[in-house]
Structure formats: structure tokens, C-alpha cells
Amino acid sequence: MSAVRLAVFDCDGTLSDGQAGVCNAMAVAFETAELGEPDMHQVRRIVGLSLPQAIRSLAPDADEDQLLAAVEAYKAAFRQSREDGSLREPLFDGIPDLLRRLHGSGWTLGVATGKSDRGLNSTLSVNGLTDLFTTLHTADRHPSKPHPAMLEAAMADAGAGRMDTVMIGDTVYDIQMAANAGTRSVGVAWGYHEPQELLDAGAVGVAQTMEELEALLNG
């Protein structure tokens, strides 16, 4: 019996482009908590962290009441945009076909993301991808990346060993999580951190295209 090959994907910046929704919700969060205007370049760079950690990173001088207010305002703004139909989180071109090819060739697929359960389930269901994934883990149930808990849980769900698991992500948080879990990692160049940052963090390679990503996974 062959070993399970597990490919675990980050979501925002790797599978989907949720930049606009994140930036808009963070602007509302900062205004509500009276934290001024966030630096949107820095907002894009913290995508992938759990929400409290992300806001703490962006506003290190905020007190606990402001932090809590910002977290709740962000969640409310994001939920409102999803409910009123204004939220746009399109998949990157080629992602659905790539996932189906990997699934069809025997890869077990998972997600490890800083999104909420609700947010991840919405992204996958809207795009008809839910059935492709065996294991889904979010910041609702685990410590923030780069803690290895999400990736370790995914391996346990799939029955996969560290040597047969690869993490795919666009930020150093993904690559560091993989290192902390003892697995291989592959970066993608279409997300929020620069390719050299991903290589410096330990990625075995950084894909510029879906074809390159598939080759790196199968290499």
C-alpha cells in the first residue's frame, strides 16, 4: 500500500485573492477601535495570521479593549460584506483545475488557514471545491501560524507522515509552520510575500505558475 501524499494549502493569497475584503474590513476595525488608519501594505503582509495576532502586529500599542473592539468590528464587517454580496474572494486563475488534477492523481488535499471556519467553508462551497478536500483547519480551532498545530492536525486526519506532506503557501508564516511541523514546503509567487522571503524561510521552491507548482509537488 502506497503512502498517503498530503498537500495542504493556505487559502488567502494561495487559493483565493481576498485582498480587497481584508483591507476593507481592517479599515473598519481600526476606525471602530479608534486606532487611526492602518497601513494597507502592512495589512496585506499580515494575511495568514489569526485575527487577534494580526491586529496586534498592526497596532502594537493598542490596549486590550481596543484589540477586542477591532477584532469584533473586523468580523462584523467581513460578515456584512458576505451577506450583502459585496465580498469578492476569487480563486486565482488555474487553481480549480490544478486541485482537480492533484486529487485525480492520488494526492490527499487539505487546507490550513488563518480564516474562520465560516470563511473557509464559504470560499470552498461557492467555488464547488469542498468535496476535493479531506482535512480543513482554521484559526477558529488552532493557534496562529507559524505554530504547527493546524498542519499536525491535517496529517493526523489524513494518516500522512511528515516526509509525505507538503505545505503550500504565499507567506513566511506558512513556510515557518511547515518547518515547525517537520514537513516540506513550497511557496507561491502570486500572494502577499516576496519569493526570496519564502526561500529564505525554507521553501524548497517558489512557483510562478500553476504548472510550476504542480511540478514542484510531484518532483
* Per-residue confidence (pLDDT) for residue 94, from 0 to 100: 97
CATH 1.10.150 is right for the domain spanning 19-83 = yes
Q: What is the pLDDT of residues 65-92, one digit of tens each?
A: 999 999 999 999 988 988 898 888 899 9
- What DSSP assignment string belongs to 37-64? ---HHHHHHTBTB-HHHHHHHH-TT--H
> What's the pLDDT score for residue 1?
42
- Is 193 strand, coil or helix? coil
Give the ranges where 84-183 is alpha helix by DSSP (H).
95-104, 117-126, 149-158, 172-181
Alpha-carbon distance 49 to 218, whole Å? 28
Model pTM? 0.89
Quote the cell numbers at residue 19.
Answer: 485582498
pLDDT tens-place values along the chain, 219 residues long: 458 999 999 999 999 998 888 899 999 999 999 999 999 989 988 888 889 999 999 999 999 999 999 999 999 998 898 889 888 889 999 999 999 999 999 999 999 999 999 989 999 999 999 999 999 999 999 999 999 999 999 999 999 999 999 999 999 999 999 999 999 999 999 999 999 999 999 999 999 999 999 999 998
Nearest to 51 by CA among 91, 78, 81, 84: 78
Sequence spans of domains, the chain: 6-17+90-218, 19-83
Whether 61 is a known active-site residue: answer no
Q: Which of 10, 17, 164, 170 is catalytic?
A: 10
Query: Average pLDDT of the chain?
Result: 94
- Among the listed residues 12, 17, 170, 174, the single catalytic one is 12
Q: Do 6-17+90-218 and 19-83 agree at the fold level?
A: no
Structure confidence at residue 2 (pLDDT): 55
10 catalytic? Reply is yes
Q: Does domain 6-17+90-218 have CATH number 3.30.70.20?
A: no
Identity of residue 186: V
